[in-house]
Amino acid sequence: MEQKYNPKDIEQKWQGQWEQAKTFAVTEDPDKQKYYLLEMFPYPSGRIHMGHVRNYSIGDVVGRFKRMRGFNVLHPMGWDAFGMPAENAAIQNKSHPAKWTYENIDYMRGQLKKMGLSYDWGRELATCDVEYYRWEQKIFLQMFEKGLAYKKTSFVNWCPKCETVLANEQVEDGNCWRCDSEVKQKELDQWFFRITDYAEELLDWTYRLTGWPERVLVMQRNWIGKSYGCEIDFPLEGTGDAVRVFTTRQDTVFGATFMSLAPEHPMAQKLTKPDRKDEVDAFIEKVKKTDRIKRTAEDFEKEGVFTGSYCINPLTKVRMPVYLANFVLMDYGTGAVMAVPTHDQRDFEFAKKYSLPLQVVIQPENKTIAPETMTAAFCDAGILVNSGKFDGMGSDAAKEAIADYLQAEGVGRKTVNFRLRDWGISRQRYWGNPIPIIYCDTCGVVPVPDQDLPVKLPMDVEFTGEGGSPLAKLDAFINCTCPLCGQPARREADTMDTFVQSSWYFLRYCCPDVKDTPLDRQRVDYWMSVDQYIGGIEHAVLHLLYARFFTKVLRDLGYISCDEPFSNLLTQGMVIKDGAKMSKSKGNVVDPNALIDRYGADTARLFSLFAAPPEKDLDWSDQGVDGSFRFLNRVWKLVHDRLDLINNAKVMDPSSLTQEERTLRRAVHKTIKKVTEDIEERFHFNTAIAAVMELLNVLQATELATPQYGAVIREALESMVQLLAPFVPHITEELWQRMGHSTPLSDTPWPAYDQEAVVDEERLIVVQVNGKLRSKITVPAGTSEDILKSMALVDEKVLPFTDGKQVRKVICVPDKLVNIVVG
């Protein structure tokens, strides 16, 4: 039999056998404990990268391990296939997004299969398949019926030259990525999902998801942004109107000296006096070209413009000039901020720039600050001053007292605010799921009837990248008949945000073949929630939050029973090379194909799993790859060198092993114990692999001429191969077969360790004199206290410290230490 390790032939052989036998296909089995394992599905960009290799290898270890532990493991794969890159490729290559997407899926599927991943490929789905997105349209209509989907005007990034909406990623330094024209903010009608209806529940569950990293949960809590405070009305001078603000610092209201409005605020133009109009209009246009995220950055220069209007502080009766400010957004609170420059740093910088008044209303304890000497705002808790009847009160207590007072006076009210805003899902692009809505001049907004679903994405479109979505110009798609009155009508030309598709794909995996409904509740309830979800930290907020929201919506629509989609979450680290994340632009990419062609998939998997714990960044090392390949060759050679010995070995009798045989067996079972715990409890794959490497060293260094050595080495080698199976499945399947087993290793139970075998027969005892280490002695495990004391007292290293002294006490901790107290 060929002794040389040839990964290419071995891997092709076993990948073919797994596929032919449908080894990893599963169905619901009430007699088995289920385990739903999922890695975030990829965008079919054309090629997998080392980040994919690492992510999917991590998942595959868990899947194969759980399967060998007896679980009914669901481990599916699919494609997040709609989105902007396909349109960009279509424009650049003068092809169709569908052609580009499906060709990439075919290629990447082949790459994933070459990695030997244990996917149930019978459940594969692509979100651009009509059999997937048709059900999303149905869910949209049910959300529309319940008021969870609605339309309103919203600002978008607009390129006037290309006449199209741009995603934030397509805006580069304020310009269009394609034509370099200046991007503007434009108000358009947009569809939204009312995620804010679920804000409280989404927040509450972040305190119950014990299997999630705290870092991710904190990010979600901050994004949801629940805050307790007050809404306060500031009357506008000379009108019957008022500006309403939300603040969490009502204790500082006596220090409010001006008002800041978001440039997008609906009152901005109304409050602008004629002599200020040109300057205000210019400022609004300037802000429209500014990235919204930059506007809120701490180091972003604070700028504004005076509208010419004033409002009145309801408690101090002071006239407050109303400004538009670039750092105020409509996305939080009311879009208006009562500016307290002495106690808010942004307001302080703004006030200094525009010479606006400062009024200190909170003093630190044991210190006095004056406005004219301040170099920064005082934002901490303190004692109220210049605050009328609230002077002398602590700022925390004053928040409650002032809130009650505002409410009693009818100028404010206690309230809870959320930073979270409703999810805008409209995209003015082609390659996405059509929104199933019809517009009729007579009937208004009309949902597409169930019997007319799906609204199919037309394939006969041309891409230029200009003039907006090609759907809007395709008469055969846009023009339709109103289902209510039969009159000519128009279809919605927008498509859904691709985050919609990734917000429920994990549910469809549970029943991808169901034809008459989005989800089969019985099957979904068997598999959900996902027991282990794996993906990058970059998805901590949007994808994971939207998936949680969608799960709750589908629960409330009666499709599923679970409250949360993912019980446990692992966010794996990046792959780093030459000190930076691998990317084409940095020229530090390693091609997984080249790696697999040279070394085999098992080596690629082993290195990506051994080089770092899953949650940490992995530093690429060519030497590490070579080392992983050499290790597999050593395993291959050791098994083949011992084949004759193990094939002729008799059945082992553990009770009659020699000391050397017991020592070797103890090393084996300690390794089984450690690898099991490292995978099951900690996901410490690197230390699990290191433990097997140590065992290999022991086995290579041990060759006995004892009666049961053959039986012991057979158990050792079989255990080693089984322990490596989740990490390097191809070589271990081949070795398992060559060791004489007819049942595939993937169908073989995980080895159990012998509790008695892992107990050390000897113990190293620390001997102290008056608490200081003086000697160490080796004794049989379980040695009695009397014998330990006697041995310690006559130990030659101890005697110099006890001779001539009175032994007052001997303290003994069995199997650990002896402390001799002398005086």
pLDDT digits (tens, 9 = 90+) for 703-731: 888 889 999 999 999 999 999 999 999 99
If you average pLDDT over residues 49-77, what whole number do you get? Answer: 96
Beta-ladder partners of 187: 155
**Highest-pLDDT range among 145-149, 238-242, 332-336:** 145-149
- The Cα 809–Cα 536 span in angstroms is 59
466 closest CA partner among 101, 165, 167, 84: 165
If you average pLDDT over residues 25-49, what whole number do you get? Answer: 95
Return the structure tokens found at 711. Answer: 């039986």
The answer to whether the CB of 34 falls within 8 A of the CB of 72 is yes
Query: Is the pLDDT at 670 greater than 70, yes or no?
Result: yes
**CA 621, chain centre distance (Å):** 26
Q: In 447-518, which ranges are continuous DSSP H helix?
A: 475-478, 498-501, 505-508
- The Cα 771–Cα 454 span in angstroms is 80
638 closest CA partner among 706, 725, 738: 738
Return the structure tokens found at 635. Answer: 């395993």
If you average pLDDT over residues 214-222, what whole number do you get? Answer: 95
Confidence at residue 495, expressed as pLDDT on a 0 to 100 scale: 95
Confidence at residue 467, expressed as pLDDT on a 0 to 100 scale: 66
Buried b (16+ CB within 10 A) or exposed e, 353-380: ebebebbbbbbeeeeeeeeeeeeebbee
- The Cα 87–Cα 438 span in angstroms is 25
Rounded (to 5) percent helix, strand, coil in the chain: 40, 20, 40
What is the DSSP annotation of 137-162? HHHHHHHHHTTSEEEEEEEEEEETTT
- CA dihedral 709→711→713→715, nearest 10 degrees, is -150
The answer to whether the CB of 227 falls within 8 A of the CB of 416 is yes
Reported as a single tens digit per residue, the pLDDT across 444-499 is 999 999 999 999 999 988 877 666 788 999 999 999 999 999 999 999 999 999 99
The answer to whether the CB of 530 falls within 8 A of the CB of 506 is yes
Confidence at residue 168, expressed as pLDDT on a 0 to 100 scale: 66
260 closest CA partner among 335, 348, 331, 337: 337
Query: Is the pLDDT at 1 greater than 80, yes or no?
Result: no
Confidence at residue 210, expressed as pLDDT on a 0 to 100 scale: 96
Confidence at residue 279, expressed as pLDDT on a 0 to 100 scale: 97
% the chain with pLDDT above 70? 98
394 closest CA partner among 251, 253, 254: 251
Task: Return the residue matching tokens 């075919």.
Answer: 106
Confidence at residue 331, expressed as pLDDT on a 0 to 100 scale: 78
C-alpha R_g of the chain? 34
Distances (CA, A) of 455 to 137, 478, 513, 530: 8, 11, 20, 30
Query: Is the pLDDT at 296 greater than 80, yes or no?
Result: no
Tell me whether strands 575-577 and 569-572 are parallel, antiparallel or unpaired. unpaired
Reported as a single tens digit per residue, the pLDDT across 525-538 is 999 999 999 998 88
Return the structure tokens found at 110. Answer: 């082949």
If you average pLDDT over residues 686-708, what whole number do you get? Answer: 93
**CA 657, chain centre distance (Å):** 51
Q: Cβ-count burial of 142 within 10 angstroms (0-12 exposed, 13-18 middle, 19+ buried)?
A: buried
Confidence at residue 465, expressed as pLDDT on a 0 to 100 scale: 66
Query: Is the pLDDT at 443 greater than 90, yes or no?
Result: yes
- Edge to edge, what strands does the sheet with 569-572 contain? 72-74, 34-39, 532-536, 569-572
Confidence at residue 163, expressed as pLDDT on a 0 to 100 scale: 72
Beta-ladder partners of 211: 568
The answer to whether the CB of 74 falls within 8 A of the CB of 37 is yes
Query: Is the pLDDT at 380 greater than 60, yes or no?
Result: yes
What is the DSSP annotation of 244-295? EEEES-GGGGGG--EEEE-TT-TTHHHH--GGGHHHHHHHHHHHHTS-HHHH
If you average pLDDT over residues 625-654, what whole number do you get? Answer: 94
The answer to whether the CB of 115 falls within 8 A of the CB of 595 is no
- The Cα 379–Cα 364 span in angstroms is 10
Q: What angle do CA 649, 650, 652 make, to 5 degrees?
A: 110
Confidence at residue 563, expressed as pLDDT on a 0 to 100 scale: 98
CB atoms within 10 A of CB 208: 11
Which segment of 200-209, 319-328, 582-591 scores lowest on mean pLDDT? 582-591
